[in-house]
Amino acid sequence: MSTQSLSRPRQGRMIAGVCAGVARRFGWDPTLVRILTVASLLLPGPQLIAYLIFWLMMPNDPA
């Protein structure tokens, strides 16, 4: 079983590709990760800051 690296895909992005990259890394459905991300924004906490940090830290897939 090969391990997928944590990177943002160039295809299938909605905003920045963070949710799609996390979903691909763990073998989850990207739609489920997106729904959970939006739902978590309704809770108090630093979710938006974490998303922005992931956006800045996760590399794009190679061209």
What is this structure's pTM? 0.81
Three-state helix/strand/coil letters over the chain:
CCCCCCCECCCCCCCCCHHHHHHHHHCCCHHHHHHHHHHHCCCCCCHHHHHHHHHHHCCECCC
What pLDDT tens digit does each residue of the chain (63 aa) get? 456 788 998 888 888 999 999 999 999 999 999 999 999 999 999 999 999 999 999 999 887
Domain boundaries, the chain: 18-57
Question: Cα–Cα distance between 45 and 24 in angstroms, integer?
Answer: 25
**Predicted local confidence at residue 17, as pLDDT:** 92
Residue range 46-61, pLDDT digits in tens: 999 999 999 999 999 8
